[in-house]
Amino acid sequence: MMAKITYLGDLRTEAEHLRSGNKIITDAPVDNRGRGEAFSPTDLTAASLASCILTIMGIAAMDKGLDMQGAEASVTKIMTNSPRCIESIEIEIKMPDKGYSDKEKKLLEKAAHHCPVSLSLSKDTRELIKIIW
């Protein structure tokens, strides 16, 4: 078991990562009867995609001796109502100015499109990934 999730009431949960003890609170969004005071479960899905992309790019960078520290991703999640699900996730990645060659950029861009979270999402979920060099 890697996590324990506890329902706290009022549409809130606490997820504990058992190995580290780190915890995340989720809250239903205001458009779905929540208070919107924390990540919603679908927010975490979208944020997980961006984190996964940066991690896989980081592995590719590390393998080639490239420095990616300081890269940032901005995430926008679009929901649909019938059924209520994630319609699309838009991710804008701002890469640090490290003088990457065209070959290095292609390597990192390819890595960005091969993360396990992306491969686990529904084929109906659109992913729009933009990398700003």
Q: Among residues 2, 22, 21, 31, which one has the least CA distance to residue 11?
A: 31
What mean pLDDT value characterizes the chain?
A: 96
Strand partners, 80: 85
Instruction: Please provide the DSSP assignment of 31-92 as one string.
Output: GGTS---SB-HHHHHHHHHHHHHHHHHHHHHHHTT---TT-EEEEEEEEEETTEEEEEEEEE
| CATH code for the structural domain at 40-132 | 3.30.300.20
> For 12-83, where are the E strands, in sequence order?
12-17, 23-27, 72-81
pLDDT for position 15:
97
Q: Output the pTM of the full model.
A: 0.93
- pLDDT tens digits for range 116-130: 999 999 999 999 999
Spans of all domains in the chain: 1-39, 40-132
- pLDDT tens digits for range 64-88: 999 999 999 999 999 998 899 999 9
How far apart (Å, rounded) are the C-alpha atoms in residues 17 and 24? 8
